[in-house]
Amino acid sequence: MIFMPNECDTYLKNPPGSIDGDMLNRIKGSMFGLLLGDALGAHVEFRPHGYLLANPVSDLQSGGTWGLEKGQFTDDGSMALCLANSLVARCGFEPYDQLVRYKWWFRHGYMSSTGNCFDIGAATKRAIRKFESQQTEFARNNNIPLEEIDFLSDEKLLKIFPINCGSNEAAGNGALMRLAPVPLFFYRNPQLAVDFSGISGRITHGDQRAYDACRYYGALIITVLMDKVDKDELLSEKFYSNELKKFFKNDSLHTDIEKIAKGSFKKKKGYDDGIRGKGYVVNSLEAALWAFWKTETFKEGAIEAVNLGDDTDTTAAIYGQLAGAFYGYDKLPSEWINMVYAKRFVECLCDWIAYEGSRWDSKK
């Protein structure tokens, strides 16, 4: 039986140990930032920039594209919760289990705010279907009952399962939009956090730009978690060259992503200067960073991200991951947080991300 997130309150348990308060504030900021961005943009998803010039978004709304209630999220939030649950349940990074949970979302509405999968991207759907077919073949070849294949735990078998199910041409934003749980969980191991960020995306999106967008954004998030760095410094070309670039020394970023890392998003006129909230990962990354760079509060940036138009929820969800970690949970608009679907569940999940992340040991 699969419960909806808002049906889990009676089953929630707090971690047994202490949690660093400042780190938890940033982890909750990032996770809730993602969900708030998604929810803010959901009702105008696919609307063009011209529509939003005439009808600008300034607050959470119900109805619209998907007919959601205020605070409900779409595929961005659902997949991020799938990923977060996998990290906590497996006490580490297991791509196979991540794919299983994405499949559960696709087939059964696991971690959905409505009980059903909706708004799934084409590349993600193809990757999940490929995963399902590979599961069937793998079960047959290894004499595993098909009803047990989702719960595969044999380490030798997990190592040989073909986890990269994304097309090499899949360069959409469907991997970047769900990223945050990875750097949040592995905050004590920055290099692994960046490496795992890339792998977490590649299992559904095989294009180098999608992979590198996840690695670069993971590096930004992990830096915000670990260092007291101001925004201008974090987003400077000098900081990228002197600090962030070390994460990619053995595998340099795609030139399209490196241009962003060097500041291509710093365009004062935003949309009029070419910033676009499109589904292509290069556009999405640039747009999210533009909204973060341009504004001084979480709320202002989320609104700017949505009002670019087009893939409104995902642009704002990507923005929210970094901005939420930077500003912290206590600086997010409380009137929005109180409307987030399954708020208590997400709070508990953040506690467990912080707790298990603090205990995770790469030597295990």
Binding residues: 74-76, 311, 313-314
Q: Which is nearest to 279 in space by CA: 238, 254, 253, 312?
A: 312
Q: Which is nearest to 284 in space by CA: 306, 262, 255, 269?
A: 306
pLDDT for res 228: 81
CA dihedral sign, ordered 142, 147, 149, 154: negative
* Beta-bridge partner residues of 63: 68
Q: What residue ranges of the chain have pLDDT lower than 50? A: none
Task: Please list, in sequence order, all residues whose beta carbon lies within 8 angstroms of the beta carbon of residue 33, skipping any fewer than 6 positions away.
Answer: 180, 298, 302, 319, 320, 321, 322, 323, 324, 325, 327, 332
Binding residues for Mg(2+): 74-76, 311, 313-314
H/E stretch holding 101 reads: helix 95-108
Domains of the chain: 5-359 (1.10.4080.10)
Task: Please list, in sequence order, all residues whose beta carbon lies within 8 angstroms of the beta carbon of residue 58, skipping any fewer than 6 positions away.
Answer: 303
Task: Please list, in sequence order, all residues whose beta carbon lies within 8 angstroms of the beta carbon of residue 308, skipping any fewer than 6 positions away.
Answer: 49, 52, 270, 271, 275, 276, 277, 287, 291, 315
- CB 278 within 8 Å of CB 232: no
- Please tell me the distance from the alpha carbon of residue 316 to that of residue 42, in angstroms, as a whole number: 10
* Residues making up the chain, counted from first to last: 364
Residue matched to tokens 């809730």: 32
Task: Please list, in sequence order, all residues whose beta carbon lies within 8 angstroms of the beta carbon of residue 227, skipping any fewer than 6 positions away.
Answer: none
The tens digit of pLDDT for each residue in 90-133 reads 999 999 999 999 999 999 999 999 999 999 999 999 999 999 99
The tens digit of pLDDT for each residue in 193-224 reads 999 999 999 999 999 999 999 999 999 999 99
pLDDT for res 362: 65
